Every structure is written in C-alpha cells, then in structure tokens.
Structure 1
Amino acid sequence: MTGTTAAASQSTIRRIIAPLALAQFICSFAGSNMNVMINDMSRDLGTTVQGIQLSITLFLLTMAALMIPMGKLTDNIGRKRSFLIGLVVYGVGALITAAAPGLWAVILGNSLLEGIGTAMLIPPVYILTTICLPDIPTRAVAFGIISGMGGVGAAAGPLIGGLITTGISWRAAFLFQALVIALILLLSRSLTDPLPADPKRPFDTVGAILSALGLFVLVMGILAADTSVPLMLVLVLVGVAILVGFFLWVRRRERAGKVPLLSTSLFRVRVSNLALITQNLQWVILMGTSFTVSAYLQVVRGYNAIQTGVIFTAATVGLLLTSLLAGRLARRFSQRGLIITGFVLCVPGVVLLIALVEGTTGGWPFVPGLFLIGAGLGLMLTPSVNVVQSAFPERVQGEISGLSRSVSNLGSTFGTAIAGTILVANLQRGGEAYGIAMAVVAVLGATGLIAALLLPRTATASAGGPAATARPA
C-alpha cells in the first residue's frame, strides 16, 4: 500500500511539475537571453543600446507591476485558466517580437505582451504547486525543481540566446520561446485546478492601478538618470508618493471591511519580510550582473553573442552544480544557512568580476566571479521561496505568491535598471563605468547578506519544512 501511494505521489509530481517548471524556465530565460543580443538587435532595428535596455527593463517591470494583481485575479478566473491564458498571450508576444520591424514592435511583443503573459502564468505555477501537493516535504521538492528551473533559465539564457543568435538570428530566439510555449500548452492538458473559480470575488481595481503605476514611475525614474538627474529625482519621488498612496488605500479598504489588493497582514511576519528582501536582492545580483557584463563585453570589448554566452557558461555550471546538490544540502543545513552561504559566495564573486577584469583583455578573468555567483544563487533561490511560501496558510497563497514573484521580478528590474543605467550612461568611460556598476551590485549583495543573517534560526530549521513557526513581528 505504501509503495502504491508513493508511486501515485511521484506520478502526481511529474504530471504537475513538467508544465509548471518549464513555464518558470522559459519566463526566466526571457529575462536574460536578450542581454547577449544587444549589438545584433540594435543594428537590425536601427536603435541604440539604451533602446534595448529600455525594452528589457520594461519587460521585467511589466512582470513585477502586474504580478500582484494577476495573483489576485487567479481566484476570479481560476488558476489553470489564468495559466493557459498567460501562455497564449506570451506566445503571441514572442511571435510579434520575432517579426519586429522596429523597436516599437519589440516593446509591444516582448516588453508588454510577454510581460503580461508572464504575470498571468507565474502566480498559478506556485499556487497550483501548493494546493495540489499538500504535504510539506513533497511541496518542498516541487518548489526546489521549479525555482531551480527558474535559476537555470536565467543563468543559461545568455548561452542559449547566444548560440541561437550567432547560429541563426536573434529573431529565432523568440521563435524558440514560442515553440516552448506550445510544448507547455500540450503538457498542461493533464493539469487540474482543485479549487473552483469565484468570478464574484471582489477585486481592488484602484489598488491594482496605484501599485502598477507607482512601480512604473519609480523604475522610469531610475532609467532617466542617464539623461537628466532632476527628472530622475522627480520621477522617483512621484513613484514613491504613488506607492505610499497605494498602501494608504489598502489600509483604508481593510478598515472598511473590504478586500484589498494586498493585505497588510502579509508584512507582519518578520521571517517572510526578511526572506522577501533576500529574494529581491538575489535577482538584483543575477540580472544586474548579467546585463552589465553582457553589455560591457559586447559594446566595449566587441564580443559577439556566442562569445558572450560562452563566458556566462561559468554561471550556469555553478548554478546547476549547487542546484543538483540542493536536496542533499537541505537535509544537512538550515534554510537560513543556505541563504547566508549563497550571499557569501555571490558577493566575493562580484568583487572578483571587478578585480580580475581590470587591465585584462581575454574572457577568462570573468569565469571565477561568474561561477561563484551562479553557485551562490543555486544554493539560495529555493530556500528563500520556501521560507516565504510556507510562512502562510493556503487561503492566502494567491496573495503571497503574487507578492513573492513581484518582489523577485522587481529585483530583476532594479538590477537591470540601476547597474545597466550606470554602465550605459558612461559607456565612453569603458572599464571605469563597468567597475562602478558592479560595485553597486556588490553593495546590494552585501545588503542581502545582512538580511539573511537577521533571519531567525528557529523559523528555518530545515529546508524541507515550513517556516510556519514564524510569528507576526
């Protein structure tokens, strides 16, 4: 009987995980593969490095801004339906981008449609995993696979994108995404949604608009730094003001007994707050490093897409190595310990990318730093997600999943916007601009390490268990 139950459990995991993990992979891949196409796309589309950076950042921003509203909408339209609609929207966006005659079409197809599609399909990935796999150890394994595939997608994006771009065309990379989406749609036929949709569930439209608008204006302010510092300051302040207005609106709805877009109770669990910070800064490191190193290699040193992608293999190998060991390490070390170790590897990795590259001409000096960053991220991506998701009951998994994914994607957005803007605005200064951009990434990584050190030991006893012992701060 036990053997039959175990076999059924394994069958359920495979049936659920295959489409969900592949979906996380392709969305993460989309966030990093364009980094190695900067020269090819800018030449073909008649635009600039700033134009390509804008499209990449807008893609990441669209995901981040819409992740919370889309996470809430899954309750109204159903988890599986949201997942499938998101796949279709994403696929259409990929096809439009593949045929793009100019930058405007890339922004429409990639930045907007692929961003919207990702925001619709990613929350159901984590919600369906949670509600379909009720026992914590099995769920932890599933989260590990899904988060690991996300990390692999982001780390391998430059290599795969470089191979396709150099071997065929940058447009073929988007056709590749469309083909993967088609495969996921086929695999999704076996997915089931245990909970019925509730179309009458209240939806906070004003809150959704305020949160999305605030994040958009804030990030656009960061991007404006290379053109006008006064404009940057104005936009950043306006963005912050709108986000403050959003939280005041949420509190007002809660006090009136109405359902807000985002419950303030989600921010009353100290362990989850700290884990969300580590999540955000992990993706700052990954995407900030990916864009800055890629842009520097292509624009300053003249590397092509495949040469750039091959150098990034070091990060992919490091991430795969530690991801494969994650299950074994999880049985021996706490989630807190793995997150701390991850940052301890990442921060020196960024420092090496600054120190070893100075005064060199080849690609090998990038390898040690990228390997350490990949290895560190492989260790801590899954524990951070586990801590956040497991800190809350199933009834709020839609909210916390949307918040968690939004925070991670904001990290990707900030990494590309902040480090990328520092580099792009000072490309004429070459290595000096690269060093400053990477130094900012190192400081933000050190901030993540501090947040990890503040995680309570009692709430993270093992990577396989929940963080349910966390108490409101």
Structure 2
Amino acid sequence: MADRSEAVRTAAPRGVLIPLALAQFICSFAGSNMNVMINDISVDLNTTAQGVQIVITTFLLVMAALMIPGGKLTERYGRKSCFMAGLIVYGIGALLSAVAPGLGVLLLGNSILEGIGTALLIPPVYILATQLFAGTTARARAFGVIMAMGGIGAAAGPLIGGLITSAISWRAAFVFQALIIAIIIVSCRRLRDPEPPDPTARLDKFGAALSALGLVLLVLGILAVDDDLRLAAGLLLAGAAVLFWFFHTIRAEERAGKQPLISPSLFDNRVSNLGLITQNIQWLVLMGTSFTVATYLQVVRGYDAIETGVIFTAATVGLLISSLGAARLARRRAQRTLIMAGFAATSVGIVILITLANRTIDPWAFAPGLLLIGLGLGVMLTPSVNVVQSSFDDAHQAEISGLSRSVSNLGSSLGTAVAGTILVADLTGHAYAAAMIVLAVASLGGFAAATLLPRAATVDSAV
C-alpha cells in the first residue's frame, strides 16, 4: 500500500490542487459573506440581527461539531467519496437557502446542510494534500495555496457578498455558492484517492455524539449570556462536563483495544497542541472581527451591503499580499517566527480599528486596521496548519485533519458567538470597542502560545 501511495503522490497531476483550494475557499466564504447581509436578510425574512447571528454561528458550530467524525469517515468510505458527498450536500443546502421563505428554512439549508457538507468535504482536502504532495516543501506549498484561498474566502466574503446582494439579492449569493460547488465537482476528474477505503474501519458513534454535544452546549452557553446568565452558566458547565466525559470515554476505549473516535495520544504531542491553539485563535479573531465590524458598520453606521463589503477590501488585499509571499517566507523564517509576527500584526490592527473608528465617521478609517489584520493572518495561517499536519505520519492524517479543522471551526464559532453576543446585547460604540478588546486579548493569547513553539520549526525541518 505504501508503494502505491507513493506512486500516486509522484504522479499527482497539478490540477488536483484546484478543487481542494476552491473547496476551502467556498467554505470560508460561506462563514463570512452573510455578515454584510444582516439588514437585507432581517427585513426580507422578518427577523432580527440576532436571528441572523444564530444562523451564522450554527453553521460554524455544525462544522466544528462534525469535523472529527467527518475525518474518520474518510477511512471507511474513502477520501474522494466523502469529498464528493460533501460537495453534493453543501450544494443542496446552498440552493435551499437561496429560496428560503423564512429563518427556519435558512437555518436548515445554510446552517445544517451546508455545515454537514463542509464537515464531510474539508477533512479530505487536508488529507489528500498531505498524501498527494510528497516532501515538506511541496506539502507546505500545497497548504499555502489551500489556506490562502481559505483566508481570502473569509476576507473577501463580505466584499463579494456585498456586491451580489446590492446588485441582485442576498439570495443570489447562495446561488453563487452552488455554482462554485458545480465547478469543483467538474474539476475533480483528475482527483484520485491515494489509498483504498477500509470498509472495516470503525466509527465511534457514541464518541461522535458526545464530542458534538459538548461543543454545541459550550457555544449555546456563550450565546445565552446576554439573555440569561444562569442559563448560560448551566450550559457552559454542562458542555465542559460532556467534553470531560468524552475524553474519559476515548481513553477507556483505547485501553480496551478498541478504536475510539480520535486517539487520545494525539494530544500528547506538545508541538501539535500549540499549533492547534494558534489555529483556533486565528479563526476566532478572523471571524469575530468580520462579524463585529460588519455588524457595527450596518446597524450603527447605517452602511449598506456594498459599502460594508468595499471597506473589507483592505483585509482581502492584506491577505493576498502576505499569501503570495507565504512560500518564500516559509523557506526563510521559522514557522514560530511567522506565527508570532502574524499575531503581532493582527493585534496592532485590532487596536487601530478600536482607536480610529471612535474618532472619525470616515468609513475608510477601518482600512488600515483591516489591512494589518489581513497581512497578519495571511502570514500565519499556513505555518500553523503545517505545524499540526506535519507532526504526524500518514496513518494519523485522517484523525489529525478532522481534529485540526474542528478546532479551527470551533474558533470561528466562538469568534462569532463571543463578539456577536457582546455586540447584540448593546449595539453602541462601547459594545463595539468591548468586542474588539476581547478579540485583541485573544490575539495576544495566540502570540503567547506561538512563543512556546520550537524555534527551529521551519518548513524544511518539519517531519
């Protein structure tokens, strides 16, 4: 099997990276483009900004909760099969969202079906990239393209969504997603699975249910803070208890010689754990900033979707600039250095957003801060992924890919939930500043975690 896998890697056509990168782009796009549609969706579906926030957060939460089981399913049914199934489910969800008559149907199409589809298709993206591209340099380049497209999708989501919403309708943005999905499916002709599926692979259903329930309870607890503090505390404690139960269960299953949902030994790798922390915080800051700034501009400043989207161009430009130089930077600088620099730039960008936004009514006052955030995120997204993925051999790629994407999407959920809860509770300049301060503190926490990474963790020295 190893020989066959290596042969497939060597012969991997260049075109295989296109569908993988586009898949990450559209999933990241889906997580941020609705931020500029808050007013339009609220009016059209007779709901509130909080209702739209719930849809956005639930989408990100479903991804996070199901990403680990999604990674495990690739072992049993095959990487390409899960990738294609995820694309189809996602496409159906996008079309259903486009014709949604109310918030409930939008929740089903966008949050549930698109969330499930993403959980099925994203783990194979990183597993296939790891297995099809031999050597740490080639693998880092592949990750660089995929993560750049993901970052651009998240940053450009408000701009593209704003253009489509203003020119046509918010519903057309979901049709756009369905069209991209169709393009990805067509471009998968050259994509080959490097290893055959293993029909005997066991899926720990009880573990999957526990992990999903624990994550859902945690995020629901955060969302409930502005309504009922006692309920929020109860949900948070229940979530923590369920996750503790989950970890106890998988350790017991591994000791009994069974195959748990995820091997507890994955958490014994200190470098990987630090990389996962930085991934979580990166996406927490990215999605939290996107939601906070977009909501503030629309609800408080009264800007429409296109005006809000244009302002976010600065973040997209920053991501493009840093992503284009990511491969060169990875060869010259340690991954630890790049991640630290990324968090430093992002923290400064958030401080600028807080300072300038309260001192001027000029919408372009947001541009310098968003540019710095885009630059910082573009520098550190790829190194964080490479640190985690390269910490394990091919036998553990399904598990670590699912865990890595789950942690990242949990960060996205937490970013939207935490910042959104602060904003929705009191949409004033003070609430905006409070939400951004929380994100700045999180960014500094990411910087602290990055300082603990090995100094010599360069692309060419990664295993």
TM-score of the superposed pair, with normalisation by structure 1: 0.95
Cα distance, 1:9 vs structure 2: 8.3
Deviation at 1:13, TM superposition (A): 5.0
Counterpart code for 1:188? C
1:113 aligns with 2:124: no
* Corresponding residue of 1:463: 459
Taking the aligned partners of 2:264 and 2:13, their CA distance within structure 1 comes to 33
Q: What SS class does the counterpart of residue 410 from structure 2 fall into?
A: helix
> Which whole-Å CA distance do the structure 2 matches of 1:158 and 1:281 have between them?
21
Q: Give the distance between the partners of 1:126 and 1:136, measured in 2 at CA.
A: 14
* 1-structure distance, mates of 2:421, 2:267: 31
**Partner in structure 1 of residue 325 of structure 2:** 325
The equivalent of 1:33 in structure 2 is 33
User: How many Å separate the matches in 1 of 2:14 and 2:187?
Assistant: 11
Q: For 1:75 and 1:350, how far apart are their aligned partners in 2?
A: 41
Matches within 5 A, 1:169-248: 169-248=169-248
- Answer yes or no: is the 8 Å Cα contact 1:62–1:111 preserved in 2: yes
CA offsets per residue over residues 23-54 of structure 1, 9 Å max, x none? 00000000000000000001000000000000
Structure 1 residue 304: deviation in Å? Answer: 0.3
Corresponding residue for residue 431 of structure 1: 429
* 8 A contact 1:137–1:465 mirrored in 2: no
CA shift for structure 1 position 136: 2.1
Structure 2 Cα separation of the partners of residues 272 and 77 of structure 1 = 27
Q: Which amino acid is 1:432 matched to?
A: H
- Tell me the distance in 2 between the aligned counterparts of 1:137 and 1:373: 26
Q: How does 1:398-417 map to 2 (within 5 A)?
A: 398-417=398-417
Q: Distance in 1 between matches of 2:160 and 2:292?
A: 18
Query: For 2:371 and 2:210, how far apart are their aligned partners in 1?
Result: 40
Q: Which amino acid aligns with 2:306?
A: I
Alignment correspondent of 2:449: 451
Shift of 1:14: 2.1
Q: Cα–Cα, structure 1 residues 66 and 298, in superposed 2: closer, same or farther, change >3 Å? A: same
AA in 1 matched with 2:430: E
Aligned partner of 1:391: which letter? S
Task: Quote the offset at 1:365 in angstroms.
Answer: 1.1
Residue 14 of structure 2 is aligned to residue 14 of structure 1: yes
Report if aligned partners of 1:59, 1:114 keep a CA contact under 8 Å in 2: yes
1:134 is aligned to 2:130 = no
Q: In structure 2, give the amino acid aligned to 1:130.
A: T
Q: Which amino acid aligns with 2:365?
A: P
User: What's the counterpart of residue 249 of structure 1?
Assistant: 249
3-state SS of 1:356 partner: helix
Quote the residue 2:103 is aligned against.
Answer: 103
Cα deviation code 1:181-202 (max 9, x no counterpart): 0000000121111211112211
Q: Could you tell me which residue of structure 2 aligns to residue 58 of structure 1? A: 58
Report the CA distance between 1:16 and its aligned residue. 1.3
The amino acid across from 1:16 in the alignment is: V
Shift of 1:135: 2.2
* CA deviation map 1:385-408 (0-9, x unaligned): 000000000000000000000011
> Residue in 2 aligned with 1:368?
368
Matching residue of 1:46: 46
Distance, in Å, in 1 between the alignment partners of 2:271 and 2:330 is 18
Deviation at 1:464, TM superposition (A): 4.1
Equivalent-residue separation in structure 1 for 2:12 and 2:291 (angstroms)? 38
Counterpart residue type for residue 415 of structure 1: G
Deviates more, 1:356-365 or 1:17-26: 356-365
Q: Per-residue CA shift, 1:128-183, capped at 9, x if unaligned?
A: 11112222221111111011110110010000000000011000000000000000
Q: Distance in 2 between matches of 1:12 and 1:393?
A: 19
**What displacement does 1:11 show?**
7.8
Structure 1 pair 9–62 and aligned structure 2 pair: CA distance change class (3 A): closer
Q: Is the 8 A contact 2:276 2:384 kept in 1?
A: yes
The amino acid across from 2:326 in the alignment is A
Could you tell me which residue of structure 2 aligns to residue 471 of structure 1? Answer: none
Of the structure 1 ranges 356-365 and 445-454, higher mean CA displacement relative to structure 2 is found in 356-365
Shift of 1:293: 0.3
Q: Deviations over 1:352-381 (max 9, x none)?
A: 111111132120111111000000000000
Kindly state the Cα deviation for residue 10 of structure 1 after the two structures are TM-superposed.
Answer: 9.7
Amino acid at match of 1:407: V
Gaps of 5+ in 1: 1-7, 469-473
CA distance in 1, matches of 2:388, 2:307: 37
Distance 2:128 2:271 in 1: 23
Aligned pair in 2 of structure 1 residues 356, 204: CA closer, same or farther (>3 Å)?
same
Query: Is the 1:140–1:465 contact (alpha carbons within 8 Å) kept by the matching residues of 2?
Result: no
Query: Are the counterparts in 2 of residues 13 and 142 from structure 1 also a CA contact under 8 Å?
Result: no
Shift of 1:104: 0.2
In 2, the alpha carbon distance for the partners of 1:439 and 1:206 equals 38
Distance 1:310 1:335, change over 3 A: same
Q: Distance in 1 between matches of 2:390 and 2:163?
A: 38
DSSP-derived class of the 2:224 partner: helix
Matched, 1:440 2:438: yes
Q: Is residue 153 of structure 2 the alignment partner of residue 157 of structure 1? A: no
CA 1:379/1:251 → structure 2, altered by over 3 Å: closer, same or farther? same
* CA gap 1:465/1:164 in 2 versus in 1, 3 angstroms: farther
Q: Percent identity?
A: 64
> What's 1:3 paired with?
none
Q: Is the Cα contact below 8 Å between 1:311 and 1:366 reproduced in 2?
A: yes
